[in-house]
């Protein structure tokens, strides 16, 4: 049976919960809500074990902080014997306009510390990733404050809609595969 691992990257703790850097957590929270599941504390994170259209799916929020996300991903990929092509890593992306979706089959970390950690632990860049654009509307030298900052009022107005579209794309990845999902959702 094919198994899937959907990983939302973020930082644990209330002070990070509504920050741009935690969009991965927001997306998998909505995904679990849509699927009627719930997270349980397990090794290296909060995990929801569920099924979508007959496909066994593990949804993970690592509890290792962003910079050590690879520990959690490696543990669950190994424990559940999940093929990397069935593993989708969800993260924020400064280089994409706010709310834009970019799904790829592989690629570099592009400076994202969570992806760097995953590449280091998996020893490959060959895994699907889902990047959610957070824009780059910050003053030079204030990148960290922007990424770890909360959504502004304009972003909040459309965030729910963007999260819904994104969760539809994740469900498409599980059911229809990577290529179909990229064709349908990239750039939306």
Domain count, the chain: 1
Using DSSP's 3-state secondary structure scheme, residue 61 falls into strand
Q: For residue 187, what pLDDT is reported?
A: 82
Stretch 9-21: mean pLDDT:
93
Q: Which DSSP state fits 68?
A: G
Q: Which residues are annotated as catalytic?
A: 21
CATH number for the domain spanning 101: value is 3.40.50.1470
* Residues spanned by the domain of 91: 3-185
**Claim: this prediction has a pTM higher than 0.75:** yes
In angstroms, the CA 183 to CA 25 distance is 24
- Is residue 5 within 8 A of residue 31, CB to CB? The reply is no
Q: Indicate the SS3 state at residue 78.
A: helix
Cβ atoms of residues 40 and 48 within 8 Å: yes
Helix (H) or strand (E) holding 6: strand 3-8
In 3D space, the residue among 83, 102, 104 whose CA is nearest the CA of residue 94 turns out to be 102
What pLDDT, in 10s, does the model give residues 111-124? 899 999 999 999 99
Helices (H), strands (E): how many in the chain? 6, 7
Q: Report the SS3 class of residue 106.
A: coil
154-183, pLDDT tens digit by residue?
A: 999 999 999 999 999 999 999 999 999 999
Reply yes or no on whether the pLDDT at 16 is more than 80: yes
Collapsing DSSP states into helix, strand and coil, what is residue 183? helix
Tokens 């991903």: give the residue. 73
Q: What is the pLDDT of residues 26-59, one digit of tens each?
A: 999 999 999 999 999 999 999 999 999 999 999 9
Three-class DSSP category at 185: helix
């Amino acid at each position: 049976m094919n198994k899937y691992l959907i990983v939302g990257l973020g930082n644990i703790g209330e002070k990070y919960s509504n920050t741009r850097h935690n969009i991965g957590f927001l997306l998998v929270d909505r995904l679990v809500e849509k699927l009627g599941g719930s997270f349980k504390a397990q090794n290296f994170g909060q995990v929801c074990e569920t099924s979508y259209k007959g496909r066994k799916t593990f949804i993970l929020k690592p509890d290792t902080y962003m910079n050590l996300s690879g520990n959690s991903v490696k543990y669950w990929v190994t424990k559940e014997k999940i093929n990397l092509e069935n593993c989708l890593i969800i993260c924020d992306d400064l280089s994409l306009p706010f709310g834009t979706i970019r799904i790829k089959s592989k690629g570099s970390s592009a400076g994202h510390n969570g992806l760097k950690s995953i590449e280091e632990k998996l020893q490959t860049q060959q895994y699907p990733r889902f990047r959610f654009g957070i824009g780059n509307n910050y003053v030079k030298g204030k990148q960290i404050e922007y990424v770890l900052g909360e959504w502004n009022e304009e972003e909040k107005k459309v965030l729910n809609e963007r999260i819904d579209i994104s969760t539809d794309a994740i469900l498409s990845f599980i059911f229809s595969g990577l290529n179909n999902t990229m064709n349908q959702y990239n750039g939306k």
